[in-house]
A and B are shown apart, each in its own frame.
Chain A
Amino acid sequence: MTPDMKVTIAGVEFANPIMTASGCCGYGEELARLYPLSKLGALVTKSITLEPRLGHPPPRTAETASGMLNAIGLANVGIDAFIRDKAPFLARQKTRIIVNVAGATIDEYVEVSRRLNDVAALDMIELNISCPNVDQGGMEFGSDPQWTERVVAAVRKVFSRPLIVKLSPNVTRIADIATAAESAGADAFTVINSVVGTAVDIETRRPRLTYNKGGLTGPAIKPIALAMVDAVHSRCRLPIIGVGGISDWRDAVEFFLCGATAVQVGTALFVDPDAPLRIVRGLRDYLKRNKLTSINDLVGRLEKY
Chain B
Amino acid sequence: MTKATCESTRLIKRRNLKNDYYSFTFAPFSAAGRCRAGHFVHAKLPTGVVFFRRAFSVAAVDTDRREVELIMKVMGRGTRIMAGMRPGDPVNLLGPLGQPFKPPRKAERAILVAGGVGFPPLLFLAEQLMMRGHDPGRIVFLYGGRSGADIIERNRIRKLGVDLRIMTENGSLGRRGLVTDPLKAVVDGGVASRIYACGPEGMLKAVNDLAQNLGIPGQLSLEAPMPCGIGVCLGCVVPLTAGGHARVCCDGPVFEIGEVAL
Interface positions of A (Cβ within 8 A of B): 23-26, 30-31, 33-34, 46, 54-55, 57-61, 63-68, 70, 72, 75, 218, 269-274
Nearest 6 Cβ contacts at the A-B interface: A61-B235, A270-B228, A30-B231, A270-B227, A26-B232, A30-B230
A168 to B226 CA separation, bound complex (whole angstroms): 26
Knowing that A23-B233, A58-B237, A64-B51 touch, tell me 19 more A-B residue pairs with CB under 8 angstroms.
Answer: A24-B232, A31-B230, A31-B232, A33-B1, A58-B238, A59-B235, A60-B234, A60-B237, A61-B233, A63-B50, A66-B48, A66-B51, A67-B51, A68-B51, A68-B227, A72-B233, A75-B245, A273-B230, A273-B232
A46 to B44 CA separation, bound complex (whole angstroms): 25
Main SS class of interface, A: loop
Chain B residues whose C-beta falls within 8 Å of the C-beta of A63 in the assembled complex: 50-52, 225, 227
Q: Are A33 and B4 in contact (CB under 8 A)?
A: yes
Chain B residues whose C-beta falls within 8 Å of the C-beta of A24 in the assembled complex: 232-233
Q: List 13 A-B contacts (CB under 8 A).
A: A26-B234, A31-B230, A34-B230, A46-B234, A55-B245, A58-B224, A60-B237, A61-B235, A75-B245, A270-B227, A273-B6, A273-B230, A273-B232
B159 is an interface residue with CB less than 8 A from chain A = no
Chain A residues whose C-beta falls within 8 Å of the C-beta of B225 in the assembled complex: 59, 61, 63
Q: How far is the CB of A278 from chain B (nearest CB, A)?
A: 11
Q: How large is the interface on B (under 10, 10 to 19, 20 to 34, 35 or more residues)?
A: 20 to 34
Chain A residues whose C-beta falls within 8 Å of the C-beta of B85 in the assembled complex: none
A220 nearest CB neighbor, chain B only: B51
Interface positions of B (Cβ within 8 A of A): 1, 3-4, 6, 44, 48, 50-53, 94, 224-225, 227-239, 244-245, 250
Q: Are A274 and B239 in contact (CB under 8 A)?
A: no
Q: Are A54 and B245 in contact (CB under 8 A)?
A: yes
Q: How far is the CB of A168 from chain B (nearest CB, A)?
A: 20
A26 to B230 CA separation, bound complex (whole angstroms): 10
Q: Are B44 and A272 in contact (CB under 8 A)?
A: yes
A270 to B232 CA separation, bound complex (whole angstroms): 8
Q: How far is the CB of A222 from chain B (nearest CB, A)?
A: 13
| Given A63-B51, A274-B6, residue A26 in contact with residue B245 (CB < 8 A) | no
A31 to B250 CA separation, bound complex (whole angstroms): 12
A57 to B261 CA separation, bound complex (whole angstroms): 13
Q: Are A30 and B227 in contact (CB under 8 A)?
A: no
Partner of B51, one of A58, A218, A269: A218
A70 to B236 CA separation, bound complex (whole angstroms): 11
Partner of A269, one of B3, B4, B50, B228: B228
| Given A33-B4, A68-B227, residue A270 in contact with residue B245 (CB < 8 A) | no
A146 to B93 CA separation, bound complex (whole angstroms): 48
Chain A residues whose C-beta falls within 8 Å of the C-beta of B94 in the assembled complex: 273
Partner of A34, one of B4, B50, B234: B4
| Given A55-B245, A58-B237, residue A68 in contact with residue B52 (CB < 8 A) | yes
A34 to B7 CA separation, bound complex (whole angstroms): 12
Q: How far is the CB of A214 from chain B (nearest CB, A)?
A: 11
Q: How far is the CB of B187 from chain A (nearest CB, A)?
A: 31
A218 to B244 CA separation, bound complex (whole angstroms): 28
Chain B residues whose C-beta falls within 8 Å of the C-beta of A75 in the assembled complex: 234, 237, 245
B76 nearest CB neighbor, chain A only: A63
Q: Are B232 and A57 in contact (CB under 8 A)?
A: no
Q: How far is the CB of A51 from chain B (nearest CB, A)?
A: 14
Q: How far is the CB of A32 from chain B (nearest CB, A)?
A: 11
Chain A residues whose C-beta falls within 8 Å of the C-beta of B244 in the assembled complex: 54
A30 to B42 CA separation, bound complex (whole angstroms): 15
Q: How far is the CB of B176 from chain A (nearest CB, A)?
A: 29
| Given A33-B3, A54-B244, A54-B245, residue A270 in contact with residue B52 (CB < 8 A) | yes
By CB atoms of chain A within 10 A, which of B4, B44, B224, B232 has the most?
Answer: B232
Q: Are A72 and B51 in contact (CB under 8 A)?
A: no
A59 to B227 CA separation, bound complex (whole angstroms): 12
A301 to B231 CA separation, bound complex (whole angstroms): 38
A156 to B224 CA separation, bound complex (whole angstroms): 42
A54 nearest CB neighbor, chain B only: B245
A289 to B190 CA separation, bound complex (whole angstroms): 73
Q: How far is the CB of B228 from chain A (nearest CB, A)?
A: 4
Chain A residues whose C-beta falls within 8 Å of the C-beta of B238 in the assembled complex: 58
A26 to B227 CA separation, bound complex (whole angstroms): 14
